[in-house]
Amino acid sequence: MIISEIIILLSALFAASVLLIYVERKLIAAVRLKKIARVYGLMQPIADAFKLFFNETILPRGKTQVAFMLLPVLFFTSIVACWAVIPVDEGVVLADINAGALFLVAMFFLSICLIVVIGWASDSKYAMFGALHSVAMMVAYELSAMLAIVCVLISSGSMRLSDIVNAQAEMWYCLPHFPMFVVFFIYALVRTNCPPFRMSESGNISDGEYSIEYTSVGYIFIAFARYVNMLLMSAVITVFFLGGWLPPFEVELFLLIPSVIWFGLKMSLCLLIFIFTKTAFPIYRYDNLVQFGWKMFLPFSLVWVIAAAGYTLVSATGKF
C-alpha cells in the first residue's frame, strides 16, 4: 500500500519536474528572444537527457569515490523525502505526521549538510569553493526562514501541515505575516538558486557550483533534485502562507473547482515568479547577500516572532 503511494508520488514528481524543465526553457527563451528548436522545443529536453545518460562517468581519483557516487542519490532523497509530509488536498498526503513542519526543517538542514559533503567528495578545490558558498548563503537565510515558519506555527497552533492549511480558512497567512512571507520567499529563491540570490551562471569561478565535477547519472540526480526542490519550495510556500488547497474566497464558483487544482495554481504562481526572476535581475554579490541575511532578516524576524507570539497570547487570553 505504502509502496504504491510512494511510486505514485515519485512518478508525479518526475512528470512535474519534466514539465517544469520544459516550461522554464520556453519562458526563458521567450523572455530572451531565443528561437525554439523544432516541434515546439519538445525534443530538446529528451536530447539533453540522452546526452547526459550516455556521458562518460568521471570519478575523482582519491578516496572519495564511493561517497561521490552515493551522494547525489542521498541529496535527491533528502529533497524528495520532504514531499512525504506535504498535503496537496484534504487527506492526500503520504504521512500526515504530528511534527510535519519540524520534519521539513530537519530535511532542509540535512540537504544543506549534504551539499558540503558533495563539495568534499568531488575532490576539487572549485567544487568545495562552490559548496561553501552555497552553504554559507543558505545558512544565512535558513534561520530567518525558520523563524518565519515559527510565526506560522504560532498562529496556527499546530505542527501538522494539514492543520496549518485548515487554520488558514479565514485568512491566508501571507496577509497577516506578510513580511515573513517575503522572508520565506527570498529563502526559497536562495534555495532554488534563483537570482538575485544565487551564484551567477556567468562563467565566473565562484559560481562554481558544488556539482561541477559531476557528469552523467550523478549530474542527472543533482539536476533533478534542483527541479524537485523548486517544486518543493513552491509547495511549502503554498502550504505555509497561501492557504494550501483552500480557494481564495468561499464563493460558490470557486468551490466548484477541485481543491487540488487550487493547490496546483498557487504552486505554479510561485514557480512562475521563480522562473522570471531568473531572467530579470542581476545577482547580488555573495558578501552583500550574507550580510543581508544575518544583519537585516534575522533581527527583523526575531522581532516579528515576538510580536506574533504577543498578539496570539493577548487575543487568546484577552489581557496583557
Nearest CB to another protein, comparing residues 73 and 116: 116
Nearest CB to another protein, comparing residues 77 and 215: 77
- Which of these segments, 4-12, 39-47, 198-206, 259-267, binds another protein (CB under 8 A)? 198-206
Cell numbers for 7 = 511510486
- Which of these segments, 38-46, 106-114, 265-273, 310-318, binds another protein (CB under 8 A)? 106-114
| Residue in 68, 75, 129, 214 binding another protein, rule: CB under 8 A | 129
Based on the shown chain and the rule CB under 8 A, indicate whether residue 263 belongs to the binding site for another protein. Answer: no
Based on the shown chain and the rule CB under 8 A, indicate whether residue 141 belongs to the binding site for another protein. Answer: no
Cell numbers for 275 = 522562473
Based on the shown chain and the rule CB under 8 A, indicate whether residue 225 belongs to the binding site for another protein. Answer: no
In angstroms, what is the minimal distance from the CB of 136 to another protein?
7
| Residue in 44, 77, 166, 206 binding another protein, rule: CB under 8 A | 206
Based on the shown chain and the rule CB under 8 A, indicate whether residue 288 belongs to the binding site for another protein. Answer: yes
- Which of these segments, 172-180, 200-208, 240-248, 308-316, binds another protein (CB under 8 A)? 200-208
Based on the shown chain and the rule CB under 8 A, indicate whether residue 112 belongs to the binding site for another protein. Answer: yes
Nearest CB to another protein, comparing residues 34 and 51: 34
| Residue in 116, 154, 273, 302 binding another protein, rule: CB under 8 A | 116
- Which residue(s) pair with 89 in the sheet? 92
Based on the shown chain and the rule CB under 8 A, indicate whether residue 4 belongs to the binding site for another protein. Answer: no
In angstroms, what is the minimal distance from the CB of 190 to another protein?
14
- Which of these segments, 109-117, 214-222, 223-231, 267-275, binds another protein (CB under 8 A)? 109-117
Based on the shown chain and the rule CB under 8 A, indicate whether residue 34 belongs to the binding site for another protein. Answer: yes
Based on the shown chain and the rule CB under 8 A, indicate whether residue 6 belongs to the binding site for another protein. Answer: no
Nearest CB to another protein, comparing residues 19 and 139: 139
Based on the shown chain and the rule CB under 8 A, indicate whether residue 65 belongs to the binding site for another protein. Answer: no
CA distance 66 to 68: 5
| Residue in 80, 82, 127, 128 binding another protein, rule: CB under 8 A | 128
CB 213 within 8 A of CB 123: yes
Based on the shown chain and the rule CB under 8 A, indicate whether residue 253 belongs to the binding site for another protein. Answer: no
DSSP 8-state code for residue 160: -
Based on the shown chain and the rule CB under 8 A, indicate whether residue 243 belongs to the binding site for another protein. Answer: no
Q: For residue 82, what are the CA distances in angstroms to 29, 101, 187, 290, 299?
A: 31, 10, 16, 26, 28
Based on the shown chain and the rule CB under 8 A, indicate whether residue 33 belongs to the binding site for another protein. Answer: yes
SS (H, E, C) the chain: CHHHHHHHHHHHHHHHHHHHHHHHHHHHHHHCCCCCCCHHHCHHHHHHHHHHHCCCCCCCCCCCHHHHHHHHHHHHHHHHHHHHHCCCECCECCCCCCCHHHHHHHHHHHHHHHHHHHHHHCCCHHHHHHHHHHHHHHHHHHHHHHHHHHHHHHHHCCCCHHHHHHCCCCCCCCCCCHHHHHHHHHHHHHHCCCCCCCCCCCCCCCCCCCCCCCCHHHHHHHHHHHHHHHHHHHHHHHHHHCCCCCCCCCCHHHHHCCHHHHHHHHHHHHHHHHHHHHHHCCCCCHHHHHHHHHHHHHHHHHHHHHHHHHHHHHHHHCCC
CA distance 149 to 159: 10
* Interface ranges with another protein (CB under 8 A): 31-34, 67, 97-99, 102-103, 105-110, 112-113, 116-117, 120, 125-126, 128-129, 132, 135-136, 139, 159, 195-196, 200-206, 279-288
